[in-house]
Structure 1
Amino acid sequence: MSAAARRALVTGASGFVGAALTRRLLADGWEVHLLLREGSSTASLPPESGQLRLHRHDGSINQLIEIMRAAAPEAVFHLASLFLATHKPDDVERLITSNLLFSTQLVEAMAACGVRHLVNTGTSWEHYNGAGYNPVCLYAATKQAFGALLRYYVEAHGLRVVTLKLFDTYGAGDIRPKVLNLLKRLALEGGSLEMSPGEQLVDLVYIDDVIDAYLLAYQQLADGVQLNAVEEYGVSSGHPLPLRDIAALYAQVSGKPLHIVWGGRPYRAREVMVPWHHYNSVPGWRPRMDLPQGLALFHAS
C-alpha cells in the first residue's frame, strides 16, 4: 500500500451498503478503518489487513476519540443506523442511542481530533408526501434530528458535511428482509404471497450507483466545493415504479410466475405512496444501472 494512501473511517460497514462502500474504497487504494459496535458481524467484510483495520466501539466517547485519533482519517463515511419502519415503545431507546447518541459522539470525536470531512447518510423518508420535513416514522425523525445537530458542529467546529438521502437500495448479494427478497423467494420456491394493493411507487437504486454517489460526495468535500454548510442530496433513480410493475418485471427477469395476492394485506401506516422528488443530485452523478439488468444481477446472486 502506498504511503500516500488516503484514509477513511467507515461506520455501518456490517450493513449491505457499508460493506459495499468498504470494498470499493479498498479497491480504490484507500486505507480503511471500520468502526463497529461490539458484536457486529464481519461476515460480509474482507479480512483485516494492513489496508483494513477494525475498531470495536465500547459505547464511550473517550474510546471513540482514541479510535478517531489513531485512524486519523481524511474522511468519515457515516452509514451506521438502526432502521425500523415502525417502532414499539421498547424501541425508542435503541433508536435514540443508535441514530442520535452514537452519531453525535462520532462528530464530537471528529471535532476533538481535527477531522473535518463527513459524508453522512440520511433518508428520503424525512419527506413524507414530499414535504420539506415530515418524517414517515421515528427512524426518519431521528435522522433529521441528527441533521440539525450537525449544523452546530459545522458552525462551531468547522466540519464540512455532505448528507446523502437514500431511497431504496438493492444489488447482488443483498439479503436484507426487503420486498425484493420476498419476490426472489417466491420465484425460487413458488407458493403465493399476500401483499398490499401495490400502487405505491418504489425508487430502486443499484448498489454500485449508490457507492458512486458516496465517492463523488467525498470528492466535493476534498475539492473544497462545499463550505460552511450541510449540503444535502437525494440518491434516486429518478424513475420510481409502482410495486406491481416491479413485481411484473421481476417475474419477467426471473422467468418464473409470481403468484401475488394484491390487496391481501393493507398498506402500512403512513405508507410512502409517492417518493420525495424535491431534491438535488450529487453534482456529476447519475444512475447507470437500469432496473432490468439490476434485477437480473440481484436474482442471480
Structure 2
Amino acid sequence: MTVALVTGATGFTGSHLVRRLLAASYTVHVVVRPASDLEPLASVRDQLVVHVHDGSTAHLTAILQAAAPAVVFHLAALVLTGHTPATLVPLLESNLVFATQLVEAMVSAGVSQLINTGSYWQHYEGQDYNPVNLYAATKQAFEAILQYYLEAAELKAITLVLFDSYGPADPRPKLFNLLAQAARTGEVLALTPGEQLLDLVHVEDVAEAFLCAHRHLRTLELHAHERYAVTSGRHLTLKEVVAIYERESGLRLLVRWGGRAYREREVMIPWSGGRALPGWQPQIRLEEGIGKLSEH
C-alpha cells in the first residue's frame, strides 16, 4: 500500500482527506501538535499512525524517516482573515517555519513528492499575485521557499489552490453554519449587501482533488512544480447562495442585507486564472451539497 503523511489532519479538509486516503487503501501517517484535538479523527483513529511533533526540525526529520511516505500532503496552516500584533508570530510559525521544516525534513529523509495547499486569497482582484491578507502572503512566501528546494533537491510538487469549502460537520464559523443557526433561533442575520461572488466546493470534492493530484504528481519529473485551482467553476452571489440554501433546506431566514459592511479587501470576484487539475472535476453541485447538510 502507498504510504502518505498528512499535516493538518485534524482540520476540516484534512480530516476528510485522511478518510478518503484510507478508503483508497493508503497507509496514513499524520503529524499533529501536542495540543491538537484528535476528535475529528476519532472514527478512524485506530487506522492511523499519529506522530506528535515537538516543534523541532530534527524531530520532524525523524518522523519522516520513520514513516517513509511516498507522498506528503501538506494542509496544516493558521488561517486568519486579518492579523493582529499578537497573532503575527503564530501565523509565521505555522505557515512559514513549520512548512519549511517539513520540506527540509522531506529532503533529509529522501521523500520526493509533495502536495501543497494554496489559497485563492493569493490572487486579489484576479491578479497573478496580490494577497488579500497576511495569511495569503505567507502562503505565497512558502511557495517561494519551496521553489528553492525544488531547484536544489530531489523534489517535485503540486500546489492545489483552494476556494471556499463546505460540507457536513464543519466546525468552522462559516456561512452555512451561520445560516443554520439563524434558522434555528429565528434571529435576524446581518449580512453584507450580498453582491460578492462565491466559489463553493464540497469538501468531498476537495479531498478527491488531493488524490487526483497525487496520481498526476507521480507522472512528473523531479524539480517540477505545477499549480492547479480546485474550483467549482460556478460563481454565485451571496444573495443567490442564501436563496438556494432556503430552497434546498426548506428553512426560512430573516436576513438584513447591508447590515454588515464589506470587510477591507473583500473578494468580490473569485480568481479564475487557475489551471484545471487533470482528471478532476467537482461532482457535487451546491444544491446537492446543501441537501446533504440537512441530513446531519
Shorter-chain TM-score tier:
over 0.9
Distance in 2, Cα, partners of 1:231 & 1:184: 38
Which residue of structure 2 lines up, in the alignment, with residue 231 of structure 1?
Answer: 226
Deviation at 1:227, TM superposition (A): 4.2
In the alignment, residue 221 of structure 1 is paired with which amino acid?
Answer: L
- 1:158-214: per-residue Cα shift (whole Å, max 9, x none)? 210000000000112212111111011112222211111110001000111111110
Question: What pairs with 1:106-185 in structure 2 (closer than 5 Å)?
Answer: 106-185=102-181
- 1:239: how far off? 0.4
Matching residue of 1:298: 293
**Count of aligned pairs between the two proteins:** 295
Q: Is the 8 A contact 1:200 1:274 kept in 2?
A: yes
Question: Which letter maps to 1:67?
Answer: I
| Displacement over 6 Å in runs of 4+ | none
Specify the code of the residue in structure 1 equivalent to 2:40. S
Aligned-pair RMSD on alpha carbons?
A: 1.0
CA distance in 2, matches of 1:26, 1:47: 9
Q: Choose the corresponding residue for 1:266, options 250, 261, 264.
A: 261
Match of 1:29 among 25, 29, 36: 25
Report the AA paired with residue 235 of structure 2: P
SS of the counterpart of 1:205? strand
TM-score (normalizing by structure 2): 0.98
Candidates 173, 188, 193, aligned match of 1:192: 188
**Residue of structure 2 aligned with 1:70, choices 66, 82, 96:** 66
**What is the distance in 2 between the residues matched to 1:58 and 1:132?**
36
Structure 1 distance, partners of 2:220, 2:60, is: 29
Secondary structure, counterpart of 1:98 in structure 2? helix
Give the secondary structure class of the aligned counterpart of 1:8.
strand
Gaps of 5+ in 1: none
Q: Which whole-Å deviations, capped at 9, do the CAs of 1:32-88 have from their partners, x for residues lacking one? A: 000001111110103543x41100011000100110000000000000000000111
Q: Distance in 1 between matches of 2:72 and 2:23?
A: 17
- Cα offset, 1:257, TM superposition: 1.2
How big is the shift at 1:226? Answer: 5.0
SS in 2 for 1:44: helix
Counterpart Cα distance in 1 of 2:112 and 2:269: 36
Q: Which residue of 1 aligns with 2:275?
A: 280
Matched, 1:240 2:232: no
Gaps of 5+ in 2: none
Task: Choose which of 182, 205, 208 in structure 2 pairs with 1:209.
Answer: 205
1:41 aligns with 2:37: yes
